[in-house]
C-alpha cells in the first residue's frame, strides 16, 4: 500500500490547482526542481501518472483527478489537527502530553511534525503507556493532554473533539463466504454468524463494534477472542468467525 506522505500530497495539490509547476513551486516555497522531484516520488509510490505534460500546460490524468479530493481531505485533516493542538495549548503552557499518535498513523505523524516545527518552545511528551482516553481522563492538570482516539467510547462527550478522518466499519469474512463478494453488507446479514472479537473493557466501544444496537437484545455469539486485530483476521481466515475492522 502506498504511503501518501502529506508533504508530497501538498505538492500535488499545489500543482493540481495552479496547473503550473513554476506557479506551484512559488506557492509552496520550493525550488521547481525540488517540487518536480516530489511529484515524481509520489507517482512512483502510487505506481501511476497523475499529471500529463505534453505541452507547457499541465493537466491532471484520470488518476490525478481521482486522487485530488482525497488529497485535499488529508491535508484538511492535518490542518484541523494542528489547529486542535494549538487551541489545546492556548494557555501558553510549555508542555503537552499526546496519546494515540501511533494509532493515528501518517496523519498523526504529520500533525506532530508540524507542531514541533511551528512551536519549538513547547515540549511534546508522547505517551503510549496509557490508552488515549485514559490519558485524557488524567489530563486535568499540567501538562494539558490531547489524544488521537477512535470513538465511540465511554465518556467521549466529556471531551472536546475534532474529526480528522472518518472510516467505515468493514465486515471481514472468510474467503468463499456467501458475503465475501458483496460490495456492502447489512448488519442484519451478520446476525446469525459466529463472531471473532478482540474484546474491550469499555462497554460502549464493545457494543459499537459488535453491532449490538442492531441485534435487538440478542447477545452476539463469540467464537474466539484473539489478543489483537491481527489475531482476529487470523481467526476469520481460518473460518472460525466473522468480524468488524
**What does the angle CA 106 – CA 112 – CA 113 come to, to the nearest 5 degrees?**
85
Each residue of 29-43: pLDDT tens digit? 889 999 999 999 999
Each residue of 103-140: pLDDT tens digit? 788 888 899 999 999 988 888 888 776 677 777 776 54
Torsion sign over Cα 112, 116, 121, 125: positive
Residue 62 has what pLDDT?
Answer: 92
Residue 171's pLDDT band, with cuts at 50, 70 and 90, is very high
Residue 1's pLDDT band, with cuts at 50, 70 and 90, is very low
What predicted TM-score, i.e. pTM, was given to this entire model? Answer: 0.56
Residue 15's pLDDT band, with cuts at 50, 70 and 90, is very high
Amino acid at each position: 500500500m502506498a504511503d501518501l506522505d502529506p508533504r508530497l500530497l501538498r505538492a500535488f495539490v499545489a500543482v493540481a490547482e495552479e496547473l503550473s509547476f513554476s506557479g506551484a513551486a512559488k506557492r509552496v516555497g520550493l525550488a521547481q526542481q525540488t517540487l518536480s522531484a516530489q511529484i515524481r516520488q509520489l507517482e512512483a509510490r502510487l505506481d501511476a501518472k497523475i499529471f500529463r505534460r505534453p505541452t507547457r500546460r499541465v493537466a491532471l490524468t484520470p488518476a490525478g483527478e481521482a486522487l485530488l479530493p482525497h488529497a485535499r481531505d488529508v491535508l484538511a485533516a492535518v490542518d484541523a489537527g494542528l489547529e486542535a493542538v494549538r487551541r489545546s495549548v492556548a494557555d501558553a503552557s510549555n508542555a503537552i502530553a499526546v496519546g494515540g499518535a501511533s494509532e493515528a498513523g501518517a496523519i498523526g505523524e504529520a500533525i506532530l511534525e508540524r507542531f514541533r516545527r511551528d512551536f519549538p518552545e513547547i515540549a511534546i511528551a508522547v505517551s503510549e503507556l496509557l490508552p488515549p482516553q485514559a490519558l485524557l481522563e488524567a489530563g486535568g492538570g499540567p501538562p494539558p493532554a490531547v489524544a488521537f482516539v477512535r470513538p465511540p467510547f465511554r465518556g467521549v462527550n466529556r471531551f472536546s473533539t475534532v474529526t480528522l478522518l472518518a472510516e467505515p466499519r468493514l465486515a471481514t469474512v472468510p474467503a468463499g463466504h456467501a458475503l465475501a463478494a458483496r460490495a456492502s453488507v447489512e448488519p442484519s446479514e451478520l446476525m446469525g454468524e459466529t463472531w471473532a472479537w478482540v474484546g474491550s473493557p469499555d462497554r460502549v466501544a464493545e457494543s459499537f463494534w459488535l453491532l449490538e444496537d442492531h441485534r435487538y437484545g440478542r447477545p452476539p455469539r463469540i467464537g474466539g477472542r484473539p489478543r489483537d486485530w491481527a489475531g482476529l483476521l487470523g481467526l476469520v481466515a481460518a473460518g472460525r468467525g466473522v468480524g468488524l475492522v
